[in-house]
Amino acid sequence: MLRLIGFFIKLCLFSAFVLFLGNVIHYRGRTLSDQVRTSMAQVERQVERVDPATLNSVRQWSKKLDFDSEPAKKSAKTGKIRTASGAQKEEPDRIPLSERQKLRALIRELNGSR
């Protein structure tokens, strides 16, 4: 739990550091923050000018990609592997319990030797 809290504190400090640097460092006469803001405004203006038919075709294309990924999502949940021919085969068995216990003991032994 303390590691998680420490991670979030580090993340917040890193974010604050990046924001600070973005406002302090100057590039081509402007701060990095201003450069990013200007670039994003240009992109937004360009997106507004895109043809609605093009946007619809991109949306349909992305829906097809999502539809194509459905079998992979289902096989990931069930643990079955789908081959290129469409046939399904069971995922190979996992490590047996006795082997897992041996591996855990070995890991404990190696960690204890430090």
Would you say residue 89 has pLDDT above 60?
A: no
Q: Burial, 32: exposed, middle or buried (Cβ in 10 Å; 0-12, 13-18, 19+)? A: middle
Provide the residue ranges of all domains of the chain, joining segments of one domain with +: 1-49, 53-84
Does this model's pTM top 0.85? My answer is no
β pairing state of 80-82 and 88-90: antiparallel
Q: Token pair of 34, please?
A: 């201003």
Name the one residue in this structure whose structure tokens are 């701060």: 31
pLDDT tens per residue across span 47-57? 777 777 877 78
